[in-house]
């Protein structure tokens, strides 16, 4: 049985941990408000770009001169997986859920005889994937030294991806990230970005019978729009990831704080019982000694 001193030391230690988790929870809550606002502000632009892409893609369907970013290479043999996670832990199962989805995708592709390449965005995703698929990782990046993720970081990833596609290093690129729903729910999401396809549910604008003349033409607009589309989708994914990470961190630290409180209550009860038992033993010894005299 632990001594009173050991119990007291453990209670003090758990209280210190509780203070840290509570502080981390408050920091995550403050960061979440800003991150959620940035993610929500980026959605209308992204959704509108998806609608424009869906409209132009419909007009270019079947066109042999359509850009390769839209039409693809005509093959489905080499897949590039862009796995975006956080740089830090202490956010519950947020990172693991994205990596798990990517691993399932890798296993399925390899079982079909496809070749897989991986780009990791975020230190935690790279740490988990390199254990089993280190030989498949062709490039990695993180944002440890950056206070706020911006479009410059997304554009760097997009340029690397587009350069690989131009060099015929892959046929299909899929982006994995955590989509922010609310504080409780963050959904691991795969999204194909090359060849570009409009996500399910993308609303095409209602032209109400009007006919537009494009200048220079649909193909020219698509060639300029598609690289931008890839960068915007990656940027949206990074913003969603930041909001999801902070929400998951806040929930995880809230649970840790409550668990620490429960542990402190149990330890205090154990300490009081041990102290009472010690006092009772000392009283019995005193009374027995007095009677013996």
Structure letter (DSSP) for residue 136:
G
Per residue in 210-228, pLDDT (tens digit) is: 555 556 666 666 777 888 8
- Helix axis angle for 94-111 and 218-292, nearest 10°, is 130
107 in Cβ contact with 127 (< 8 Å): no
- Tokens found for residue 57: 């893609």
Residue 111 — very low, low, confident or very high, per pLDDT cuts 50/70/90?
Answer: very high
Per residue in 63-75, pLDDT (tens digit) is: 666 777 777 788 8
Residue 223 annotated among the catalytic residues of the structure = no
pLDDT at res. 48? 82
Name the β-bridge partners of 78.
115
- Cα 125 to Cα 18: distance, rounded to the nearest angstrom: 28
120, 118, 90, 78: which is closest to 17 by C-alpha?
90
Per residue in 247-259, pLDDT (tens digit) is: 999 988 989 999 9
- Cα 134 to Cα 106: distance, rounded to the nearest angstrom: 13
Query: Which residue pairs, CB below 8 angstroms and at least 24 apart, start in 216-223?
Result: 218/56, 218/59, 218/60, 218/63, 219/60, 219/63, 219/65, 219/66, 219/67, 221/56, 222/56, 222/57, 222/60, 222/66, 222/67, 222/69, 222/70, 223/67, 223/69
261 in Cβ contact with 14 (< 8 Å): no
Nearest-5° angle of CA 56, CA 57, CA 59?
65
For the residues 18-39, what does the mean pLDDT come to?
89
pLDDT at res. 46? 84
For the residues 88-100, what does the mean pLDDT come to?
89
The single residue listed with the structure tokens 């042999």 is: 64
Hey, which bits of 13-104 come out as E strands?
A: 78-84
pLDDT at res. 263? 92
The CATH code that applies to domain 21-253 is 3.40.1380.10
- Cα 152 to Cα 231: distance, rounded to the nearest angstrom: 9
The single residue listed with the structure tokens 């955590």 is: 178
Residue 43 — very low, low, confident or very high, per pLDDT cuts 50/70/90?
Answer: confident
pLDDT at res. 214? 57
* 46-60, 184-198, 264-278, range with the lowest pLDDT: 46-60
- Tokens found for residue 232: 């915007």
Name the β-bridge partners of 180.
186
- Tokens found for residue 89: 């832990």
- Cα 89 to Cα 85: distance, rounded to the nearest angstrom: 10
Per residue in 267-276, pLDDT (tens digit) is: 899 888 888 8
The b-or-e profile of 240-256 (16+ CB within 10 A means b, else e) is: bbbbbbbbbbbbbbbeb
Residue from 91, 173, 222, 267 carrying the catalytic annotation? 91
For the residues 263-267, what does the mean pLDDT come to?
91
Per DSSP, the three-state class of 196 is coil
Please determine, for residue 118, whether its predicted confidence score (pLDDT) is greater than 60. yes
| DSSP codes, 82-105 | EEE--S---STTHHHHHHHHHHHH
Per residue in 156-191, pLDDT (tens digit) is: 999 999 999 999 999 999 999 999 888 888 889 999
């Amino acid at each position: 049985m632990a001594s009173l001193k050991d119990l007291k030391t453990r209670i003090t230690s758990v209280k210190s941990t509780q203070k840290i988790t509570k502080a981390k929870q408050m920091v995550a809550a403050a960061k979440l408000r800003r991150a959620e606002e940035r993610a929500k502000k980026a959605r209308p632009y992204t959704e509108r770009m998806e609608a424009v892409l869906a409209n132009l893609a419909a007009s270019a369907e079947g066109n042999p001169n359509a850009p390769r970013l839209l039409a693809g290479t005509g093959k489905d043999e080499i897949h590039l997986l862009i796995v975006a996670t956080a740089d830090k832990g202490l956010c519950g199962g947020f990172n693991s859920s994205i990596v798990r989805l990517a691993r399932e995708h890798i296993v399925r592709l390899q079982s079909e005889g496809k070749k897989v390449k991986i780009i990791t965005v975020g230190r935690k995703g790279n740490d988990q994937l390199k254990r089993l698929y280190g030989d498949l990782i062709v490039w990695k990046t993180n944002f440890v030294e950056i206070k706020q993720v911006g479009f410059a970081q997304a554009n760097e990833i997009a340029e690397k991806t587009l350069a690989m596609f131009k060099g015929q290093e892959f046929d299909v690129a899929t982006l994995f990230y955590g989509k922010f729903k609310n504080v409780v729910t963050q959904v691991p999401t795969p999204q194909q970005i090359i060849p570009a396809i409009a996500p399910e549910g993308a609303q095409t604008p209602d032209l109400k019978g009007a006919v537009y003349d494009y200048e220079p033409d649909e193909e020219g607009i698509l060639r300029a729009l598609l690289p931008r589309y890839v960068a915007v989708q990656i940027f949206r994914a990074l913003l969603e990831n930041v909001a999801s990470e902070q929400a998951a961190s806040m929930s995880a630290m809230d649970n840790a704080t409550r668990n620490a409180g429960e542990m402190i209550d149990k330890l205090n009860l154990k300490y009081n019982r041990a102290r009472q038992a010690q006092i009772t033993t000392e009283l019995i010894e005193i009374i027995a000694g007095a009677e013996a005299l």
